[in-house]
């Protein structure tokens, strides 16, 4: 939109409101913009349809509207590009945003990249700790896209779903990607006695027919031949069949609700790395049942702990990734998904080298950078956050696999304000802040949002510069 015309359109707007230039839009004689004053952000609407929006009349035909769910639903009727869509590209990237205010920073790094962005991505676990809902996460992404003028398509991922209630909630909210986490349904045969294996087998639907279908099948993939021997066939059926049955039920439930969606199977949150036979079994099981997943997230060797780089032998990871990528190419039609936990820079070059189709997720990365922005701009608040994290770490680390050493957490009282950002270079301190977000937000919710609102430029810069490092390493 012409900046001169835009200024004239909103010339009656009070000077306390500052418009985000990229958000200025026109549709059917109506004009829209996102603006902020010293307290909040608003949708500004002018035109014949302004009365449709929830808000207060400012003057003439201008209405100032909150960025709420009601208005998010209405604005999508005017600008359908705000509605999330199924993935359009071979490479996709999930931006986990625990605070819901980082999308403009994410938009700034995705421009001119051949990567499909998933701007709305949160897990049930994250929502339970932040007090958000799937709907709120998506609405926040909508407003972030509108503020940035982003109109090139994005996805919304309901991550690590383990039950149908949350699946229905996300589908009703308008999500386009559903990550089904099988970890609660997977059984390790090594943990069972012989009698327990027999009893468990009897409770697996169609176990015998699965055994007959897979037994002695061979798959020549790349330079390797993978054979379903008797022991391997029984092992994978006991391990994965009940989980894949749950995934199948989720898939057909979604088919009743949505015409198009991305469907990911996650088996990465278990202790044992996924073997090629495991991968083949999962894909063949799904296809045998008429299900064609969009992506599969294996458990790779090494440690994918939150907030820090890859821990393990990068060559071992590369070998495993290459094998899984070959299987993916052999069957075709889906991507390898890597749940990075954030900042796995050491392995990105191998992903870039071997794969043309893949999805990467970050979780908590933007949150860490937001807290770093607080350390830069509001040291006193950061010191309180740090103390809160230490006090609550034993409770908040439940559910996260991390090997952080509290003895390596520095005494913050010995650190000057100017040196506080350097704490984010320390792995143990990064993990401390990364996984205590629930407690931190419980006690400092308003102060955190107020600080990041006041110092928005610093916040966006911290997030965008860090995520740009990720995207530069994976963009082909």
At residue 115, the pLDDT reads 94
- With a cut of 90, say whether residue 443 has pLDDT above it: yes
The mean per-residue pLDDT over the stretch 143-157 comes to: 97
With bands split at pLDDT 50, 70 and 90, how would you rate the model's confidence at 4? low
Give residue limits of the domains in the chain.
3-78, 82-365, 366-474
* 216-228 mean pLDDT: 98
In 37-112, beta strands by DSSP E: 41-46, 56-59, 62-66, 91-95
State the Cα torsion 143-148-151-154 to the nearest 10°: -60
Confidence at residue 401, expressed as pLDDT on a 0 to 100 scale? 86
SS3 state at 289: coil
448-470: average pLDDT: 97
| pLDDT at 122 exceeding the cut of 80 | yes
Which two three-digit tokens encode residue 103? 């999308």
Q: 311 - beta bridge partners?
A: 303
- Geometric angle at alpha carbon 197, from 194 and 203, rounded to 5°: 150
What pLDDT shows up at residue 69?
98
Of 211-220, 233-242, 352-361, the one with minimum mean pLDDT is: 352-361
Given a cut of 60, is residue 3 above it in pLDDT? no
Q: What is the C-alpha to C-alpha distance for residues 126 and 396, in angstroms, rounded to an integer?
A: 11
Which helix (H) or strand (E) segment holds residue 386: the answer is: helix 379-396
The Cα 306–Cα 400 span in angstroms is: 8
Q: Residue 191: pLDDT above 60?
A: yes
Mean pLDDT in residue range 321-350? 96
More confident residue, 51 or 228: 228
Count of CB atoms within 10 A of residue 431's CB?
A: 26
What is the CB-side half-sphere exposure of residue 400 using CA atoms within 13 A? 26
**For residue 7, what pLDDT band results from cuts at 50, 70 and 90?**
low
Q: What pLDDT, on a 0 to 100 scale, did the predictor assign at position 199? A: 96
pLDDT at 111 over 90: no
Cα dihedral 7/139/377/22 (nearest 10): -30
Annotated active-site residue in 140, 169, 181, 264: 264
pLDDT value at 8 more than 90 = no
Q: Identify whether 264 is a catalytic site residue.
A: yes
For residue 386, pLDDT over 60 is answered with yes
Q: Give DSSP secondary structure letters for 109-131.
A: HHTT-S-EEEEEEEEHHHHHHHT
State residue 5's pLDDT score: 58
CB atoms within 10 A of CB 438: 17
pLDDT value of position 60: 73
Residue of 5, 9, 81 whose CA lies nearest to 45: 9
Nearest alpha carbon to residue 139 among 76, 185, 195, 226: 76
Separation of alpha carbons 154 and 144, rounded Å: 12
Instruction: Round to whole Å and give the CA distance between 214 and 230.
Output: 9
* More confident position, 473 or 323: 323
Does domain 82-365 fall into CATH 3.10.20.90? Answer: no
SS3 label, residue 103: helix
Which distant-in-sequence residues (6+ apart) come within 8 Å of 393 by Cβ? Answer: 406, 432, 435, 436
Which DSSP string do the residues of 302-350 spell out, in sequence order? SB--TTS--BS-HHHHHHHHHHHHHHHHHH-S-EEEEE--S--TTTHHH
- Whether 475 has a pLDDT exceeding 80, the answer reads no
**Active-site position among 97, 140, 159, 305:** 159
In whole angstroms, what is the distance from residue 179 CA to residue 123 CA?
Answer: 9
Q: What percentage of the chain has pLDDT greater than the value 70? A: 98
pLDDT of residue 266: 97
% of the chain at pLDDT higher than 90: 89
Mean pLDDT computed over every residue of the chain? 95
Given pLDDT bands bounded at 50, 70 and 90, which one contains residue 13? confident
User: Rounded mean pLDDT of 78-102?
Assistant: 96
Q: Do the strands 224-227 and 335-339 form a parallel or antiparallel pair, or are they unpaired?
A: unpaired
Using DSSP, state whether 225 is helix, strand or coil: strand
What pLDDT sits at residue 57? 85
Q: What is the value of pTM for the model shown?
A: 0.96
**Is a pLDDT exceeding 90 seen at residue 193?**
yes
Q: Is the pLDDT of residue 208 over 90?
A: yes
Whether the predicted pLDDT of 330 surpasses 90: yes
**How far apart are alpha carbons 150 and 103 in whole angstroms?**
10
Is there a catalytic annotation at residue 417?
Answer: no
pLDDT at 182 over 90: yes
> Is the pLDDT reported for residue 1 higher than 80?
no
Check residue 112 and give its pLDDT.
75
Average pLDDT over residues 322-332: 97
């Amino acid at each position: 939109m012409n900046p001169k015309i835009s200024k004239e359109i909103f010339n009656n707007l009070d000077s306390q409101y500052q418009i985000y230039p990229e958000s200025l839009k026109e549709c059917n004689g109506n004009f829209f913009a996102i603006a902020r004053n010293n307290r909040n952000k608003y949708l500004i609407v002018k035109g014949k349809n302004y009365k449709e929006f929830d808000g207060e009349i400012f003057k003439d035909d201008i209405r100032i509207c909150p960025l709420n769910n009601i208005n998010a639903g209405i604005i999508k009727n005017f600008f359908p590009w705000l509605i999330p869509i199924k993935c359009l590209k071979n490479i996709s990237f999930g931006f986990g945003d625990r605070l819901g205010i980082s999308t403009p920073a994410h938009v700034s790094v995705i421009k001119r990249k051949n990567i499909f962005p998933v701007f709305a991505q949160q897990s049930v676990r994250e929502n339970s700790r932040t007090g958000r809902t799937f709907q709120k996460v998506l609405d926040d992404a909508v407003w972030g896209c509108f503020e940035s003028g982003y109109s090139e398509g994005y996805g919304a991922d309901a991550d690590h779903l383990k039950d149908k209630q949350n699946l229905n909630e996300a589908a009703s909210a308008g999500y386009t990607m559903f990550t089904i986490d099988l970890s609660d349904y997977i059984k390790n045969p090594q943990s069972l006695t012989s009698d327990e294996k027999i009893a468990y087998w009897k409770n697996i639907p169609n176990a015998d027919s699965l055994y007959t279908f897979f037994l002695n099948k061979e798959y020549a993939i790349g330079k390797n031949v993978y054979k379903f021997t008797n022991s391997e066939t029984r092992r994978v059926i006991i391990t994965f069949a009940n989980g894949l049955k749950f995934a199948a039920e989720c898939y057909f439930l979604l088919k009743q609700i949505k015409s198009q969606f991305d469907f990911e199977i996650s088996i990465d949150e278990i202790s044992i790395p996924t073997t090629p036979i495991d991968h083949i079994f999962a894909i063949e099981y799904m296809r045998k049942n008429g299900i064609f997943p969009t992506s599969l997230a294996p458990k790779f060797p090494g440690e994918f702990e939150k907030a820090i780089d890859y821990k393990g032998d990068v060559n071992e990871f590369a070998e495993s990734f290459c094998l899984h990528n070959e299987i993916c190419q052999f069957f075709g039609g889906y991507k390898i998904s890597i749940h990075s936990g954030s900042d796995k820079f050491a392995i990105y070059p191998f992903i870039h080298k071997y794969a043309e189709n893949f999805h990467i997720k970050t979780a908590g990365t933007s949150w860490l950078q937001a807290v770093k922005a607080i350390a830069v701009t509001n040291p006193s608040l950061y010191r309180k956050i740090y103390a809160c994290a230490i006090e609550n770490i034993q409770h908040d680390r439940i559910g996260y696999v991390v090997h952080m050493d509290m003895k390596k957490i520095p005494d913050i009282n010995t650190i000057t304000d100017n040196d506080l950002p350097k704490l984010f270079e320390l792995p143990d301190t990064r993990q401390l802040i990364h996984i205590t977000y629930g407690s931190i937000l419980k006690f400092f919710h308003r102060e955190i949002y107020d600080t990041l609102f006041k110092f928005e430029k610093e916040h966006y810069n911290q997030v965008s510069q860090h995520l740009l490092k990720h995207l530069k390493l994976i963009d082909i």
